[in-house]
Structure 1
Amino acid sequence: MDVPLFGDQPNKRRRHINLGGIHSATTHNDILQDAKLRRSQREEQKRRQDAALHIQRIWRSHLARAAVRQSLRATFLQDLSSLTALRCLVLLGQDEDALGRWSTVILASKRDVLLQSDQSWLVLLQRVSTMLLRSLSTDPRSQYAQTHLQVLSLLLSGNPKRADVSRYLLSHGFYSSLRQVVLQLPAPFKPSPLIAPLADLLAAPLSYPELLPLSLRELLSNILTIPLFPNRILPALGPFSARLPLASIHVVPLDIISAPELQSLESKIHLLANLVAFMPPRYAALSPPAFATYLQLCALLMNALPTHALEPPEDKRDAARNWADGESEDEEETTVEVVSSFEPKQRLPPLDDRTRKRLLIIPASDHITSLLRASQNENLLQPVVAYSLALSTVWPSRRDRVLSAIVMYNRGSLVKEIFRTFVRSSPLGRDDAQSEISNPKNAPHWPPLLLLADLYTQALLTMGDDEFFSTGVTPSVARNPLSLDELTGFSRQLLNIAFTLYWREDPNSAQEAVPGLGQVRWENVREKATKCLQALHARDSRRPFTPPGHWLITAHVDMNTFIKAAVFEERQLSVPENGRVAPLNKRQLAYLSPRLGVLNNIPFAIPFDVRVEIFRQFVQNDIVSRGYMPWRGRMGAAKIVIRRDHIAQDGFDRLADADLRAPIAITFIDQFGNEEAGIDGGGVFKEFLTSLTREVFDTDRGLWLATKKNELYPAPHSYATEPHSLAWYRFIGRILGKALYEGILVDIAFAGFFLAKWLDKQSWLDDLASLDPELYQGLMQLKHYTGDPEELSLNFTVAQEEFGVTKSIDLIPNGSNIPVTRENRLQYMYLVAHYKLTKQIKKQSTAFFEGLSEIIDPKWLRMFNQQELQILLGGVDSPIDVEDLRANTQYGGLYDDHHLTIQLFWEVVNELSHEDRRKLLRFATSCSRPPLLGFKELNPHFAIRDATDDQTRLPTASTCVNLLKLPRYTDRRVLKEKLVQAINSNAGFDLS
């Protein structure tokens, strides 16, 4: 019988084995997933087992530790004052109950434990002291807090090794732990038993000279950065202050400013406020090194703060706070916002009112005076400079008060010292080193130069010409702290610096910080230099003290290239967006255009004739861009009909809405209602403009007043501020704009302080001399008054008389109740001048300038100063160049250059006096001054035409076309006699 292989049994079904898994239909993916599941199940099982083992180990460890702790605690409780108990306490760790028990027992009856100096005791006591500190910082309101403080205080003051204990604690966060305790004390003060021992503990490490550099540094960075720190320890403030070794502050390195605890704005501000609480009473006792360190530390703190960081928000509109920057009205706030458009905005921390009040001590005049008085040491001059510059930078709303206090101290001696010690020898601004301005190695030279620029600009606000040019011989007159030679050198330094900074092609470089000056940027440097330059140049323009060519930078710039580039840049900026061209202020122009930045901020660096040429090209570009064609004369011009006997009113009515930049053709109607014959090719319009200006500027009309020099300014009375009058000012502004646009000279002289409004410039106290000489003299007497100004019973008001009624005007809020004192008299002087020169004519000036700006772009005008603008309007007030006039004269009728009458005419003109020549020019052209660039600029050219051969007839003129109608005289004596008679009597004056 055959035996089946592999044990197969007959008559039984063969078993099928699936080698691929349980289910024959399972895919490869399923197999992988199943294997993964089984693996994760095994891992989870192992994790559970490991976790169980870990929990068991932890529990056994906990039981063991509990047993050990219980044993330690039992041993500890047997004798709390023993060395063994101390070891047990350290091993127990941060056991609040054990610490409390130990400190209570030690303080009550075992204080000798704290006197142990053996090394084994000392190590343990040090460890326990850190535990006590940690307990205090965690919960300063615990029942053991006071006891802990007292134990620590005894340990740091009674232990023979107390210096070693102090060193150990300082390296283990002593002051940072106590900071947490102090922060939880209420401010203002509320009674607390912690205050006295806490103050005592804070001062303990400061008693050891060898630890002073570390302990004082830690105190400054951790404790004196606490908000309102003196208020929190008020009952113990006296004893604590007495133990505070700020007289040794020089042992603390100035790199403390980089400490981690001082990285926030709040910490810097609070350290500054707390230093002010403790330091001023110590000024007189401070050694020069300590005073220098204090000043430098304060300067570093202030330099690290953003502008306005210390400004109280509620003072934003305080008109008295920044008195040398004018009014704080809405429009001026807007200007500030526009000017700041390139500055990054930084969020400032909120400050407690009490902190602000304490910080107000810093810029107070009394504080500055006491600080300067205590720093009478040559080694302190540089720290004083750094401190003063930082203060005026971080607190701009009180900058003027700060600068005035410094200027007034010891009759300006600090100004003189800064210049002669630092600035005179400074490499900054030298003619041969302009490229070195941004070199970091020059960082130490910037603070004295910038502070001097600020101080001298401030001094000029209230410095009369008698002081500026004084020799110091007259005792009653204060002397200019800088000589004219020194000012010449200083102004050249500033000019080179300002020009270099405006000339940078990369506008973003202006926003870079100046090395070593914290938040001060190159833009701020440029602004400070520019302000001082403008003020010095204004003095030099009025009464020269610098050599010829002093203000020019022609050696550094090719003028032809400059003109082309300036015209190109102006054309680029004049491309309208959304149908209009946005007005740009001086700062924005400096950002967008180097050349226009120079022309609008330091125009005097470019020769006057170059700027006039640029102005004329700006006008021509504007004419072309508007599609007008000047070579066609008045063809296609708007026709305006004017009645001869109603020139001003008709001009006002018919030109109110006209585009005065477009050609205007004038048609005159005579007294009989007949239209005068002739086509306006430019001459008739000039006649109209000349007649119109003569009429509207008549002081009898009530809109204008004249100074004693016959210079016009807007009337300050209420009638002049009525809407109808303001409309006339706007119209007159447009008319003068048209004259400038057309290049027509008008024989009108304006007061310098009014012209300054056209240029967006500040009026100075010395400008008041031209308006009200008596008031000016009174203010100067107040400035030099040696007694107490309060004896004069002055207050912050000004008297204004109108139509026989005098009323008192407050210069600042509640001014009638604020007396003028020695400290605030400069502010009073400035505000009086500001009111007279600016505020009382503000509406009138604004309306006038609105009209003027419709025709002439303000940035074109800012290329000139007041004197130059007057020349642009009315010609050069200089002797008439007869040869230039003859070379640019045209002849008509029978005349030519060789005609006998013409030969006699020029011989006679050469013999005339300067005054008679001016009368002749006025007779023929309506303006007595020659054009600023010579008679080639006179439009139309000066012309002479024969009139008649009647030897008895007087010469006549057609001023509208600058035409002299000269009879054909054959006798030289007759010609001179008739010409002089005509020009002195206007006989035969012919406007036809």
Structure 2
Amino acid sequence: MFFSGDPTSRKRVALGGRSSKERDTQKLMEQTRMERDRRLWQRKQNASAIKIQKCFRGRKAAKAERAKVREQFLSRYGSYCQNAERCCFCPDSDYFRQLFFFFNARNAGDFTILVETCRGILNLVRDNDNIVSLFAGVDYSAVLALVDHRVKNLAYICILSLYQNRSHFRQQLLVPDADSVMQATVLLEAVAALIDPKLPWACKAVSYLCQKNVFALFREIVLAERENAKTSSSTGNLSGVEHITGILISHSGQNSCSCPNVDPKFCFSSQMLTVPFLWKNFPSLKGVFSTQGLSQHYIHQMSLCLQNHTNLLPSDISAEYPGYACLLGNILEAAGVTLSQPACPFEMAVDLAAVSTFLLEALPPIKSSSQKAKEDAAMIEEDADSADDIQIVLDKDLERQIITGIDSRFLLQLPCVLLQINVLFGGISAVGDDRSVVAIGAACALLHVTFNTLPLERVMTVLAYRTELVRVLWEFMKNCHDNKRWSSLPEHLSLLPGDSPGWLLPLAVFCPVYKHMLMIVDNEEFYEQERPLSLRDIRSLIVILRQALWQLLWLNPTAPNASAKTTSRENTSKQNPNESIKHRVSIVASELLSQLQDWNNRREFTPPSDFHADGVDDFFISQAVVDGTKANEIMKLAPFLIPFTSRVKIFNSQLVAVKQRHGPHGVFARNRFTIRRDRILEDAYNQMSALSEEDLRGLIRVTFVNELGVEEAGIDGGGIFKDFMENITRAAFDVQYGLFKETVDHLLYPNPGSGLIHEQHLQFFHFLGCLLAKAMFEGVLVDIPFATFFLSKLKQKFNYLNDLPSLDPELYRHLIFLKHYQGDIAGLELYFVIVNNEYGEQTEEELLPGGRNLRVTNENVITFIHLVSNHRLNFQIRQQSSHFLRGFQQLIQKDWIDMFNEHELQLLISGSLESLDVDDLRIHTNYAGGYHKEHYVIDMFWDVIKGFSLENQKKFLKFVTGCSRGPLLGFKYLEPLFCIQRAAGNASDEALDRLPTSATCMNLLKLPPYRRFVPFIPVFLQIKKLSFSGCFELCFGFSYSVWYTARSKWKQNCCMQLMQRLVLI
């Protein structure tokens, strides 16, 4: 700073608020603390150094002492124990004391000493020397502790030496035990001799080895040779290890064994059974393990550990060989032998089911080759979304071992052992019986997990046709339902919460198996023979399924996103198992109930209302059209729970919503068709095919051109369009045109030979699909009776044998005859070919490659039957059906019609075939021009309409509305409502000579005020006679010339009938 001229210096004042003394005190305390910590750290370092030095000195001293003892041992007994004699193994000898003290398995010299020691012991034993006297002398009891200690340690260091030198003796470990020259073989033989079950110390030696985790050592020995052992044949390789392992597990598995319990993590089940393909390397051990006593002991041991959720499995070898998968494969491979033994214990079967269930739950789904091919594209698309998910892919051979393990024999034997307590002269034990509940729970838990893991085609056929599973499960569920008490079964599925309903697991298994069975059952078996369940039982089953579905979907629904994901993805079932199994049950139960509804539609055995749930109201209907709601989920998954009329309302609401999104309807539509009546199909095809999908949703207005080439007068307000739709559908679906054929019941289906008649037949099928969709989209009912199997294709359902009667009942009878034929089918000279006869042109097609040379026999007749039905129902018309469906789905979405079955879909297309409900029409009729509902003319009018036949009622309805069929839900939904208007302002004779006229666009009937009942009848008789020739063309086109001609004809006939009636009066 610059000099200010002031010689005095001012004292600086700190404004921080703290004195310097305070800062000095804090600094001093911090320094003191740091010094204290430093001194403490130095003391710890000194103490640690002392301990390390102490350990080092001890190790160094011990090493030196071992070297000293080793030198003494070698000088006394030789490098190869050539100076060792029998007395060296006596209790008084220090041979073993010195050997155990200096022995190091990694020291080649020590290893040689151990091998020669074992060789000497084996040579003495082979010379008929008693091994007990060899180690104990004259009195074993006097030196029991010393001998036991020596034997246990000798056996252990032999195994430990093999473990530590497993890589060095790799080739020797694979040599059969017959070659006793090999060092590894000598050690294994010595261990086997030392732990012989006949020896007095066997129990103590085996217990000591198990506590030393000898199975973990054997596991590493076997895994060191895994690649070689995997490809080697079972010719006795590793038989020394196999023999020792057999002795160990045989002793530990005995009921009389008093050995202390071993840590389950290091037991035989955890360590050895998790070795891939164990039985391939140890075939003899498989037979030892499969005996009931041993398998029951070890499987029960695993079951207890799994129930306690103990993580006892060792680390996985690799991602392709997870421990639980290897354990499952080995258990299943041995289970076939175990279950086939006579009097297999029930408890063992329960434990086996519990262990298999737990391991299958951890297993990733194993798909068949066809499933994998179908999902490849989907997996590629989902890579971005599932990049964080770890995909577990098992080794192909391991997958094959698991799939082969759960083969037909396993699926037959295990349920038989489990459920044999339930089957007694066709009956079932009491619901409260604990063993019954345990059996059902164990079997259902295992099969449910199996369905989610293994390919279903390998499982379902065996369970459905070779076991009594369906009948036994049904008896159990029936008794529970009748007694209103469902036993809880959550303990049999480890991830299922305790509050889960008791019917959840049985339904999860019963529904898919019974559904698979119904695919093969024919009509005679189902309706007449009532197999596998009686019709009475099926009615009870429908009630159970309906109540379960309603509880799962409406009362206690799953999470909102549970149904959006595929149940085959393992992540869903692992992260939220309770929601997963509930969602799975809701799917299989809805599929089965839908299939039972199809059977009921073929031949009614229960009222259709039995499939409907209670509680469906207007609120439910309003929610059903909103995505993500419970009602919407029910409509997608189980629409049959909702009454048909309610579903029609929902369908109409969906159509209205689409029309509103399309835009308001203008007075003048932009799509105008000019249609020649004599070329209606050609003109409709050309003009409708040119419309886009957006245009198809819009209004279409039609102008007809008559046979003279003159446009018919009139404005299309909707009535002419309805007439156009009826006429075009009648012409297009006429069998004479060749696109469709008729069954014996006069039901329509695509003509398999349509390509022989029309070159552009596929384009026409696309057009017909659009045409039908347009009729449904606009609410126009058309008289097109489709065959049931073809209606299934609109729902994209696959047709099976039971759908064949709707196409060819005679062929169906012939195939059922073959199915039940008791003789030799080969004698019928049938081959896997089918002959097509279309328009006189016969072609022969093979049902299988080489089918011309493949004869139908009793073994393959079922395959032949299903191939024939598939050819007729699916293959022959696959192109026609696909193009028809493609056009149909341009306007009608699949989820809209998925809520209807085939019978209901036909009603949606054509309406009811029953008589016209005149009372309903009268209730929903308006009156104008002076008429009212109690007017005498109106009373006469309704009396005449009621007297009409069904055909004449349909003609009358077409006369006033333009469509011969009323609205599906009744005339309440006719838009606008039907109206009767007075046609003449006075009651003069000239006015009464007029015919009734109509305006179909307004659903309006203009009725003259006839004074008496007598002339009123011939008026409508004349309407019926003229039908389409006069009066109906009048109402559609308002043509005066046609009307005048019709009027003249009517006056002549009316006057004649009127004079006759007056004479009678």
TM-score surpassing 0.5? yes
Counterpart in 1 of 2:177? none
* Matched-pair contact (CA < 8 Å) for 2:587–2:637: no
Correspondent of 1:222 among 260, 263, 271: 271
- Greater Cα shift, 801-810 or 957-966: 957-966
Structure 1 distance, partners of 2:757, 2:409, is 41
Counterpart in 1 of 2:114? 99
Q: CA deviation at 1:872?
A: 2.2
Q: CA deviation at 1:374?
A: 5.5
Correspondent of 2:184 among 138, 142, 145: 145
Structure 1 distance, partners of 2:852, 2:350, is 42
Q: How does 1:567-606 map to 2 (within 5 A)?
A: 567=625, 569-570=626-627, 592-606=628-642
The one-character-per-residue Cα deviations of 1:150-184 (angstroms, maximum 9, x if unpaired) are: 11111121431112211221222222222233331
Are residue 648 (structure 1) and residue 681 (structure 2) matched?
yes
Are residue 448 (structure 1) and residue 506 (structure 2) matched?
yes
Q: CA deviation at 1:721?
A: 12
Q: CA deviation at 1:91?
A: 1.5
Correspondent of 1:532 among 592, 604, 627: 592
Counterpart in 1 of 2:732? 696
Q: CA deviation at 1:698?
A: 1.0
Are residue 274 (structure 1) and residue 330 (structure 2) matched?
yes
Are residue 612 (structure 1) and residue 648 (structure 2) matched?
yes
Correspondent of 1:136 among 162, 170, 194: 162
Are residue 169 (structure 1) and residue 212 (structure 2) matched?
no
Counterpart in 2 of 1:120? 146
Structure 2 distance, partners of 1:398, 1:292, is 25
Tell me, what secondary structure is at the counterpart of 1:534? Answer: helix
* Matched-pair contact (CA < 8 Å) for 1:426–1:445: no
* Matched-pair contact (CA < 8 Å) for 1:956–1:964: yes
* Matched-pair contact (CA < 8 Å) for 2:735–2:742: yes
Structure 2 distance, partners of 1:337, 1:821, is 43
Counterpart in 1 of 2:900? 864
Structure 2 distance, partners of 1:784, 1:262, is 54
Unaligned runs of 5+ in 1: 1-41, 318-329, 431-436, 571-591
Tell me, what secondary structure is at the counterpart of 1:507? Answer: coil
Q: How does 1:300-319 map to 2 (within 5 A)?
A: 300-308=358-366, 311=367, 313=369, 316=372
Q: CA deviation at 1:404?
A: 5.4
Correspondent of 1:391 among 450, 465, 475: 450
Tell me, what secondary structure is at the counterpart of 2:702? Answer: strand
Cα distance change on mapping 1:281 and 1:867 into 2, 3 Å: same
Amino acid in structure 2 at the alignment position of 1:166? V
Cα distance change on mapping 1:823 and 1:280 into 2, 3 Å: farther
Cα distance change on mapping 1:422 and 1:883 into 2, 3 Å: closer
Structure 1 distance, partners of 2:854, 2:403, is 19
Are residue 413 (structure 1) and residue 414 (structure 2) matched?
no
Q: CA deviation at 1:940?
A: 5.4
Q: CA deviation at 1:753?
A: 2.1
Counterpart in 1 of 2:240? 197
Structure 1 distance, partners of 2:193, 2:972, is 97
Amino acid in structure 2 at the alignment position of 1:120? L
Are residue 81 (structure 1) and residue 106 (structure 2) matched?
no
Cα distance change on mapping 1:683 and 1:339 into 2, 3 Å: farther
Q: How does 1:772-921 map to 2 (within 5 A)?
A: 772-785=808-821, 798-807=834-843, 809=845, 829-889=865-925, 902-914=938-950, 916-921=952-957
- Greater Cα shift, 148-157 or 861-870: 861-870
* Matched-pair contact (CA < 8 Å) for 1:951–1:967: yes
The one-character-per-residue Cα deviations of 1:579-610 (angstroms, maximum 9, x if unpaired) are: xxxxxxxxxxxxx4433221122122223333
Amino acid in structure 2 at the alignment position of 1:175? F
Q: CA deviation at 1:536?
A: 2.2
TM-score (norm 1): 0.79
The one-character-per-residue Cα deviations of 1:857-885 (angstroms, maximum 9, x if unpaired) are: 32222232222222222223333221222
Cα distance change on mapping 1:427 and 1:734 into 2, 3 Å: farther
Q: CA deviation at 1:514?
A: 9.0
Cα distance change on mapping 1:827 and 1:673 into 2, 3 Å: same
Counterpart in 2 of 1:755? 791
Structure 2 distance, partners of 1:720, 1:452, is 48
The one-character-per-residue Cα deviations of 1:669-698 (angstroms, maximum 9, x if unpaired) are: 333433333322222222222221111111
- Greater Cα shift, 760-769 or 639-648: 760-769
TM-score (norm 2): 0.74
Correspondent of 1:255 among 285, 297, 304: 304
Structure 2 distance, partners of 1:249, 1:669, is 89
Cα distance change on mapping 1:797 and 1:742 into 2, 3 Å: same
* Matched-pair contact (CA < 8 Å) for 2:335–2:410: no
Cα distance change on mapping 1:922 and 1:368 into 2, 3 Å: farther
Tell me, what secondary structure is at the counterpart of 1:880? Answer: coil
Correspondent of 1:233 among 259, 282, 291: 282
Higher relative contact order (CA 8 A, sep 6+): 1
Tell me, what secondary structure is at the counterpart of 2:967? Answer: coil
Correspondent of 2:222 among 175, 178, 182: 182
Structure 2 distance, partners of 1:761, 1:517, is 30
Unaligned runs of 5+ in 2: 1-41, 106-110, 173-181, 423-434, 489-494, 566-571, 1038-1065
Cα distance change on mapping 1:517 and 1:425 into 2, 3 Å: farther
Structure 2 distance, partners of 1:366, 1:980, is 75
* Matched-pair contact (CA < 8 Å) for 1:81–1:102: no
* Matched-pair contact (CA < 8 Å) for 1:443–1:516: no
Counterpart in 1 of 2:13? none
* Matched-pair contact (CA < 8 Å) for 1:404–1:458: no
Q: CA deviation at 1:720?
A: 8.1
Structure 2 distance, partners of 1:794, 1:122, is 76
Cα distance change on mapping 1:224 and 1:114 into 2, 3 Å: farther
The one-character-per-residue Cα deviations of 1:227-269 (angstroms, maximum 9, x if unpaired) are: 2223223588667867983365664351354553278673333
Counterpart in 2 of 1:637? 670
Counterpart in 1 of 2:612? 552
Structure 2 distance, partners of 1:61, 1:411, is 69
Q: CA deviation at 1:410?
A: 5.3
Amino acid in structure 1 at the alignment position of 2:690? D
Structure 1 distance, partners of 2:798, 2:481, is 26
* Matched-pair contact (CA < 8 Å) for 1:203–1:244: no
Tell me, what secondary structure is at the counterpart of 2:673? Answer: strand
Structure 2 distance, partners of 1:493, 1:774, is 39
Structure 1 distance, partners of 2:482, 2:830, is 40
Q: How does 1:657-696 map to 2 (within 5 A)?
A: 657-658=690-691, 659-696=695-732
Q: CA deviation at 1:925?
A: 4.8
Cα distance change on mapping 1:155 and 1:976 into 2, 3 Å: farther
The one-character-per-residue Cα deviations of 1:322-366 (angstroms, maximum 9, x if unpaired) are: xxxxxxxx6x9878999999999652333344x555444445446
Q: CA deviation at 1:370?
A: 5.1
Structure 2 distance, partners of 1:406, 1:109, is 62
Correspondent of 1:500 among 548, 554, 563: 554
Counterpart in 1 of 2:1048? none
Structure 2 distance, partners of 1:414, 1:338, is 43
* Matched-pair contact (CA < 8 Å) for 2:415–2:469: no
The one-character-per-residue Cα deviations of 1:109-135 (angstroms, maximum 9, x if unpaired) are: 257456746211211221222222222
